[in-house]
Amino acid sequence: MSHSHVLRIALVFGLVPWIAPTATAGDDVPARSIAGQTLQVPEEQLDLGEVYHVVPGPGTQLAWTHDAPLVRVLAICNRAVGYFVTPFDIEPDKSPVLAGALRIPVASLKTGRQQYDGEFHGPRALNAGEYPEITLRLQETRNAKLTADKDGRRSFTLDAVGELTVRDKTIRVSFPLQVQLVPFTWQTMRVDIGDLLIVRGEISVKTADLGFDTTASNKDFLAETATLDLCLMCSTVSPENNLDPAIKDEHSREQMRFFTLLRDFNDPEKGYKVGRAYMRTIWDDAQALNRLAQATLTEEDIQTRDLAFILRAARRANELTEFKDAALLCTLAHVQSERGDPEAALKWARAAEGLLEGAPQHVAAEVRGALARYEERCKHNQDGPLPSKP
Amino acid sequence: MQRTQVRNRRTRTWPTSSTHAAAIVCLLASCSIVETALAQWPQWGGPRRDFSCQATDLADRWPADGPHKVWSREIGGGHSAIIVDGATLYTMCRRENQDAVLAIDTNTGRTIWETRYDAPTKPDMQLDFGCGPHATPLLAGDRLFTIGAMVQFRCLDKKTGKTLWSHDLIDEMGASHLGRGYGASPIAYKDLVIINIGSRDTGIAAFKQDTGEMAWKSGPFRGGYPSPVLTTINGEDHLIIALAGARAALDPATGEVRWKVTVDRQSAGIMCTPLWIAPDKVFFSAAYGGGSRLFKITAKDGQYTADELWHCRKMKIMHGTAARVGDVVFGSSGDFGPTFLSAVNLETGKILWRKRGFGKANLLYADGKFIILDEKGELALAKADAEGIEVLSQAKVLEQRSWTVPTLVGPRLYLRDYQTIMALDLSEAANRPSAAAAPSPLSSGQEVTR
């Protein structure tokens, strides 16, 4: 798509003032937890039955589309958080969904092109700075029909009514839902742990109702309707439930909070502030520091990686272990490589290789693979320009 | 138990006359012997292996910081439960590459003896939760039987800790350590001690208590964490076992199968001890999608059959205990996700109520109340029935991985987590308030979550 198309889309989002809200945006949608990866389900809803938490990550798919004659905007998000409540005893003739809510970080809606994203999230469009989330709250479900019941798995179709809040505009939406309840088995564990609920639905909204410019001059660039296509993987196990006995719960929560801000909301200022505070609390814990450095270095969808921050954590982790832990040295080598210092990366990777005796096989393979890459890069460095990053 | 009350009352009205005092000392001494004989906790699950025991006069309300602490001390890692014989308790812990069996003075917490032996871990174990010991010692006469996570089976002299005989059951029989370490506790039957093996050709085996010689071995069953229980059906003894692939009963004298039900893979991860529901039913519960099942055992023409009466997926007890009162089984249900104290109707298999607020928990039933210890170290006293649960008192007494079911002898509760072992006095007298426990957020009336 041409640059002019990008600008045109920006104009579509920007030309029209947003309609005054009919309700305070997202007020009725429960707040996020401190770590930010679940919502605080109200007590009265907890008592209704089973709570299924939306699992952010690859299993969560949510697409915003508006399909105009000359442009199609398709933004994908996999960082939505929320929950659905089902009755404790599911009955064929009763709705399998009693309550639900979603919070979708605007910054995590990705079109695949940074220029588009900038406009889409910017102050003239969804305005992530001021309205960082799109929210959805289920108000009612009806016409539930059991469509399949086999091997403990049950599928339903139903009609849902809810409130969708985009920017400062809240509109009532009606949409069909398909839900499938999948009890835990060793097979489903490959997808996620816990009993699963898969929620699919498609919400169509008039773009005019959301304040987009629908005048004739924009017709080729903005469809009359936009759709929010949901395919949400939900589990009875909260994504904040840390199952690794080696990781303290409070460490897990703080690191999650850091990533919620940095990755989901693309807010490096607040994110690294939380990250630095967290780093201080784990300053004497080599493994926690290494986890922090490693994740900040490799977690997908982080747009601003503060390499000085990562290096500080990785270096301290190695100081604490006196540079004698291969996995930690490998992280240090990785961050040096990302900083553009392949010689330092090579030095630490070689040190790591020297400590591989008795190391788990996957650690050894990782260290040797990294070492080979850094050697290659150093060789190119001596021979001429560096190849692009691995 | 009534004698315990007598002792308490007399203590409060101690006579001034030395003659009277001497007489009462004698009386108390004799009471103590009687109490010991009645009150000891010789095995996993208590005197009847069903996590219930006789007790009276437990205080409903505790001081804000918990019940009166008699003593507390560090202990090595492990989840082995505590057995009590008079003034001595026994348990196991881990010391680096060794298993340790400890005899501890119940009144002071001081070690009477400690016997250690090398028990190196195996390369194919998953030890992210430590390497036990998980199983609980068994006391039979003067002998103490123990099994560590690496399936070293030992018989010790209870007074000295001297090893009388031992078997390395991985080496000798190919016993299964189940990945995370062996966990089923031994059970005594007449002059035998019976244990899970879980090897390629032997499911269960019995050994002579005095010599350690094998008395019988069953055919193959996969290993399992649940400890076996003994009962009598139709005038015949049954050893009820719950293993990865089967729920079954054996003749405890010969190892012959009396009845057997094969279970699916989802029910294979069972850890909860089976609960015998007299006169003819058995309750099993498994997490990880297994759920709870009630079987009715029927005898006909000398054969036994087990028929499933119901299956409730929602009651999924992981490594906690199940306790039964009347037609209701209570337990802590949950695995990876949230855990609920739950009650299930034995007649229908329906969940009667659920309560949030506790982590995975072990339950004991005594004096018409439940003693609840969750994995975060929250100890609670509660009244529960088919209608709901009322938490009477609650306090955080332990810290980390409190996975061990407590032991109650008289009013004294022995409990441990992965670091600490302690004795608490739950009696009314010891907890008579200067400061009764303020109602906790969990104890305000009948907070029942369905």
CATH number (domain holding residue B392)? 2.130.10.10
> What pLDDT, in 10s, does the model give residues B240-271?
999 998 999 999 999 999 999 999 889 999 99
> What pLDDT, in 10s, does the model give residues A171-206?
999 999 999 999 999 999 988 999 999 999 999 999
Write the DSSP symbol of residue B440. P
Whether B348 and chain A come into contact, CB under 8 Å, resolves to no
Mean pLDDT calculated for residue range A106-121: 88
Planar angle of CA B259, B264, B266, nearest 5 degrees = 130
> What pLDDT, in 10s, does the model give residues B84-107?
999 999 999 999 999 999 999 999
Q: Looking at the predicted structure, is the pLDDT value of residue B33 above 80?
A: no
Q: CA B163, CA B153: separation in Å to the nearest integer?
A: 11
Provide the domain limits for residue B323: 2-449
Query: Is-contact B215 B222, C-beta < 8 A?
Result: no
Within 10 angstroms of residue A295's Cβ, the number of other Cβ atoms is: 18
Q: How confident is the model at residue B308 (pLDDT cuts 50, 70, 90)?
A: very high
Q: Which of A88, A186, A244 sits opposite B265 (nearest CB)?
A: A186
Structure tokens at A275: 């990250």
As beta bridge partners, residue B287 has: none
3-state SS track over chain A: CCHHHHHHHHHHHHCCCCCCCCCCCCCCCCCECCCCCCECCCHHHHCCEEEEEECCCCCCEEEEEEECCCCEEEEEECCCEEEEEEECCCCCCCCCCCEEEEEEEHHHCECCCHHHHHHHHCCCCCCCCCCCEEEEEEEEEEEEEEEEEECCEEEEEEEEEEEEEECCEEEEEEEEEEEEEECCCCCHHHCCCCCEEEEEEEEEEECCCCCCCCCHHHCCCCCCEEEEEEEEEEECCCCCCCCCCCCCHHHHHHHHHHHHHHHHCCCHHHHHHHHHHHHHHCCCCHHHHHHHHHHHHHCCCCCCCCHHHHHHHHHHHHHHCCCCCHHHHHHHHHHHHHCCCHHHHHHHHHHHHCCCCCCCHHHHHHHHHHHHHHHHHHHHHHHCCCCCCC
Q: How confident is the model at residue B433 (pLDDT cuts 50, 70, 90)?
A: low
Which of residues B278 and B14 earns the better pLDDT score?
B278
CA distances from B294 to A194, A300, B179, B315 (A): 23, 48, 28, 12
> What pLDDT, in 10s, does the model give residues A337-352?
999 998 999 999 999 9
Q: Looking at the predicted structure, is the pLDDT value of residue A163 above 60?
A: yes
Query: Is-contact B367 B55, C-beta < 8 A?
Result: yes
Q: Looking at the predicted structure, is the pLDDT value of residue A1 above 50?
A: no
Judged by CB atoms closer than 8 Å, whether chains meet at A88 and B128 is answered as: no
Q: Cite the beta strand spans of B278-377 per DSSP E.
A: 281-286, 291-300, 303-312, 317-325, 328-333, 340-345, 351-355, 361-366, 369-374
Chain B hits for A195, Cβ within 8 Å: 337
Mean pLDDT calculated for residue range B299-324: 95
Within 10 angstroms of residue B308's Cβ, the number of other Cβ atoms is: 14
* Beta-carbon pairs below 8 A across chains A and B: 45
Whether B159 and chain A come into contact, CB under 8 Å, resolves to no
pLDDT at A85: 97
Q: Which of B289, B335, B356 sits opposite A185 (nearest CB)?
A: B289
Characterize the bridge pairing of strands A61-67 and A49-54.
Answer: unpaired
| Closest chain B residue to the Cα of A185, Cα to Cα | B289
- Best probe of the A interface among B264, B310, B318, B336, by most A CBs < 10 A, is B336
Query: Is-contact A109 A121, C-beta < 8 A?
Result: yes
pLDDT at A384: 55
Which of residues A22 and A138 earns the better pLDDT score?
A138
Q: Looking at the predicted structure, is the pLDDT value of residue A94 above 90?
A: no
Mean pLDDT calculated for residue range B313-341: 95
Structure tokens at A225: 């309707």
Q: Which of A183, A244, A246 sits opposite B289 (nearest CB)?
A: A183
Judged by CB atoms closer than 8 Å, whether chains meet at A88 and B450 is answered as: yes
> What pLDDT, in 10s, does the model give residues A357-378?
877 888 888 889 989 989 888 8
pLDDT at B29: 37
Q: CA B243, CA B228: separation in Å to the nearest integer?
A: 9
What radius of gyration, in Å, describes the C-alpha atoms of chain A? Answer: 24
Q: Burial, A320: exposed, middle or buried (Cβ in 10 Å; 0-12, 13-18, 19+)?
A: middle
Query: If you average pLDDT over every residue of chain A, what do you get?
Result: 87
pLDDT at B18: 39
Structure tokens at A282: 């784990």
Q: Which of B129, B313, B336 sits opposite A241 (nearest CB)?
A: B336
Query: Is-contact A193 A152, C-beta < 8 A?
Result: no
Chain A hits for B129, Cβ within 8 Å: 245
Query: Is-contact B315 B342, C-beta < 8 A?
Result: yes
The tokens 């608490």 sit on which residue?
Answer: B424
Whether B345 and chain A come into contact, CB under 8 Å, resolves to no
Q: CA B180, CA A164: separation in Å to the nearest integer?
A: 48
Query: What ipTM does this complex have?
Result: 0.81
Closest approach of chain A CAs to the CA of B97, in angstroms? 18
Q: Cβ neighbours of residue B100 under 8 Å, at least 6 residues apart?
A: B76, B92, B93, B94, B114, B115, B116
What SS3 state is found at B39? helix
Which of residues B2 and A49 earns the better pLDDT score?
A49
pLDDT at B434: 62
pLDDT at A360: 80
Residues 278-337 of B with CB under 8 A from A: 288-289, 313-314, 335-337
* Closest of B280, B281, B354 to residue B315, by C-alpha: B354
CA distance from start to end of chain B: 36
Identity of the amino acid at A225: T
- Best probe of the B interface among A85, A86, A184, by most B CBs < 10 A, is A184
| Closest chain A residue to the Cα of B313, Cα to Cα | A183
Q: CA B43, CA B146: separation in Å to the nearest integer?
A: 11
Q: CA A299, CA A284: separation in Å to the nearest integer?
A: 23
Closest approach of chain B CAs to the CA of A242, in angstroms? 9
Q: How confident is the model at residue A27 (pLDDT cuts 50, 70, 90)?
A: low
pLDDT at A113: 86
Q: How confident is the model at residue B359 (pLDDT cuts 50, 70, 90)?
A: very high
Looking at the 3D structure of chain B, how many domains does it have?
A: 1
Whether B266 and chain A come into contact, CB under 8 Å, resolves to yes
What SS3 state is found at B44? coil
| φ/ψ bin of A380: left (φ > 0), alpha (ψ from -120 to 50), beta (otherwise) | alpha
Mean pLDDT calculated for residue range A224-244: 92
pLDDT at B32: 35
Q: Burial, B18: exposed, middle or buried (Cβ in 10 Å; 0-12, 13-18, 19+)?
A: exposed
Mean pLDDT calculated for residue range B376-388: 96
Whether B376 and chain A come into contact, CB under 8 Å, resolves to no
> What pLDDT, in 10s, does the model give residues A311-326?
999 999 999 999 999 9
Chain B hits for A243, Cβ within 8 Å: 336
Q: CA B318, CA A221: separation in Å to the nearest integer?
A: 57
pLDDT at A24: 40
Structure tokens at A309: 């921050």
Whether A287 and chain B come into contact, CB under 8 Å, resolves to no
Q: How confident is the model at residue A383 (pLDDT cuts 50, 70, 90)?
A: low
pLDDT at B23: 40
Q: CA B282, CA B267: separation in Å to the nearest integer?
A: 15
CA distance from start to end of chain A: 28
